[in-house]
Chain A
Amino acid sequence: MSVLVYVENTAGEFKKSVFEVVSYAKAIAGLLNTDLTAISIGSVDPSNLNLLGQYGASKILNVDSDQLKSFVNHSYASVIASAAKSENSDVIILSNSFSGKGLAPRVAAKLEAAFAPGAVALPEVNGQNLIVKRVAFSSKAFAFTELKAVTKVLSLTPNSFELKVNEVQPEVVDFDPQLTNDLNTIIKDIVRTTDKVSLADAEIVVSGGRGLKGPENWGLIEELAEVLGAATACSKPVSDAGWRPHEEHVGQTGISVQPNLYIAIGISGAIQHLAGVSASKTIVVINKDPEAPFFKVADYGIVGDAFEVVPQLIAAIKSYKAG
């Protein structure tokens, strides 16, 4: 019996969120007094696979077949379920990334496992069960879900668990999943809309609202994001007005983010927006209205005109980075 963690690669590389999920899975393996096995699907260089050992994966199942070069959730789910059976893994951990959100429920359903999507902390062991803290009501609350089936699947919210070095020499083993069922999904194209850091992976997010007055002023947001190495985001009225694309909308009906630093500029802080960002570790609000509700949930605030404050802030960050 071991804990099994699925490690998603992006064009053959592992992102930081993958090492988070390995660190998390290793900590769970520790709680259950067992080892950690990782499963990688697709072409990943052996030197990259070995990196997983730094975070505690002592065995790595490597599935590198032509049929499974690109991500298709039902076939990847079959592979992971088959690995879970051959490893006798009762606990399977995935990332709650976009692909993970499509994959994890299929893995759970195949194994008739109890499933906790979007875990944000280590589970509590309760006899044979695990109690998992996860996001609910779009970050307006947390739910503690008790997983009662023999097999358990958890997906970890990115940026909610610290990397933990736990160096072991991993044994890398080729794994043949013997796939039979293919439902004929064809990936026609993959389009990256940005070569910058994506919103879902970002540790810093700079977000603009209606206070910026129009899309022509977004250069300010982009410049601040650039000096911080941040992703850009916006409020719902901004994406509804077509100033920015929908995928930048953070909030209850857009994307939920929990970066280390969220900087809100010209956003008043409607309850639906706050729901999507309240799990951020540090929140900075820049708004000319001192009564803006966002100040009530912020760590730091500057009351002032964005068109004056932001250029000054950019200059201050540049001089700090230079110093």
Chain B
Amino acid sequence: MKILVCISSVPDTTTKITFTNDNAELNSAGVQFIVNPYDEIALARAIELSEGGKGTVTVINVGEAETDPTIRKALATGADDAVRVNAKPRDAWFVAHQIAKYAKENNFDLILTGRESIDYNGTQVAGFIGELMNIPSVSIAKKIEVQDQTALIDREIEGGKEILSIPLPCVVGAAEGIAEPRIPNMRGIMSARTKPLQVIEAEEVAELSSIVKFEAPQPRGEVTLIPAGEPEKLVELLHNKSHVI
């Protein structure tokens, strides 16, 4: 089984997000970039599914040379090889086109993404790839098993799950619970240096949308402290002032 895992490079979860250039761009000064946490669990599940000679795992990233350390981290974690599409990842539509093009040319059985990236939170790439390749997609999967040419998937729904049986090839967005993230060991880190990282050029894609500006959330006012032992005051405020109960 050939598995392709799509990874993106995102600000570390502890980052305080600020903007520059008149709030049009992320201020990346001092920001530590990591493998998107959902992509990390997608990768961990791909490695589990391929272990014991059952398959290979290729990671793909759309990014400029600065994302190479993120890709090497994925290789250290256990991917067999990597591809970087050499372009600024303008938006999800652009990224999905690059991945779909590579995947079409290389016959993967399973394509895994994270359910969303923690920077733009669109949950778009898996659905776009599915449509561009005319294969099934599941955007938020809590579990995946593969039997022969079929993927058995738990899809998250409001208050429960749907159990799906889907023919391969398909594209699946990994959510929490699909696997535990893996931490690279020393041997992995050493071998990552010599694993193949192929750099390919991007294809042109029409720009359909663009971000014009960012805005920080409105800060809340000062907290109103209610003395312990007087919870009826809280109930009164929630009812009469905030109108939420």
> A117 near B245 (CB under 8 angstroms)?
no
Give complex CA distance A130, B226 in Å.
44
Q: B20 to nearest A CB, angstroms?
A: 13
> A74 near B131 (CB under 8 angstroms)?
yes
Number of A residues with CB within 8 Å of any CB on chain B: 103
Give complex CA distance A279, B152 in Å.
34
A211-238 interface bits toward B, Cβ cutoff 8 Å, 1 = contact, 0 = none: 0000000000000000010000000000
> A300 near B228 (CB under 8 angstroms)?
no
Q: Helix, strand, loop or mixed for chain B's interface? A: mixed
Q: Helix, strand, loop or mixed for chain A's interface? A: mixed
> B234 near A300 (CB under 8 angstroms)?
yes
Contact of B177 among A116, A192, A246 (CB under 8 A): A246
Give complex CA distance A97, B159 in Å.
12
Residue of B nearest to A198 (CB): B159
Please indicate the chain A residues that have their CB under 8 angstroms from the CB of B17 in the complex: 137, 140-141
> A303 near B136 (CB under 8 angstroms)?
no
Q: Which of A90-130 contact B (CB under 8 A)?
A: 97-99, 101-106, 108-110, 112-118
Residue of B nearest to A189 (CB): B163
Tell me, yes or no, whether B30 is within 8 Å of chain A by CB: no
Q: B22 to nearest A CB, angstroms?
A: 12
Which of B93, B158, B166, B242 has the most chain A CB atoms closer than 10 A to its own CB? Answer: B158
A177-211 interface bits toward B, Cβ cutoff 8 Å, 1 = contact, 0 = none: 00001011111111111111111110110000000
Contact of B121 among A135, A191, A249 (CB under 8 A): A135
Instruction: Using C-beta atoms within 8 Å of the partner chain, give the interface range for chain B.
Output: 35 or more
A98-B158, A102-B127, A141-B216 are known contacts. Are A272 and B13 too (CB-CB below 8 A)?
A: yes
Please indicate the chain B residues that have their CB under 8 angstroms from the CB of A190 in the complex: 157, 160-163
Residue of B nearest to A313 (CB): B231
> B217 near A136 (CB under 8 angstroms)?
no
> B244 near A261 (CB under 8 angstroms)?
yes
Contact of A149 among B209, B236, B239 (CB under 8 A): B209
Tell me, yes or no, whether B123 is within 8 Å of chain A by CB: yes
Give complex CA distance A317, B225 in Å.
18
Q: Which of A282-318 contact B (CB under 8 A)?
A: 282-285, 295-305, 308-309, 312-313, 315-317
Give complex CA distance A282, B231 in Å.
16
Please indicate the chain A residues that have their CB under 8 angstroms from the CB of B128 in the complex: 105-106, 108-109
Tell me, yes or no, whether A33 is within 8 Å of chain B by CB: no
> A299 near B220 (CB under 8 angstroms)?
yes
Q: B117 to nearest A CB, angstroms?
A: 9
> B215 near A253 (CB under 8 angstroms)?
no
Tell me, yes or no, whether A52 is within 8 Å of chain B by CB: no
Q: Lowest 9 A-B CB distances belong to which pairs?
A: A105-B127, A304-B228, A198-B159, A109-B131, A192-B160, A114-B208, A102-B139, A261-B244, A316-B231
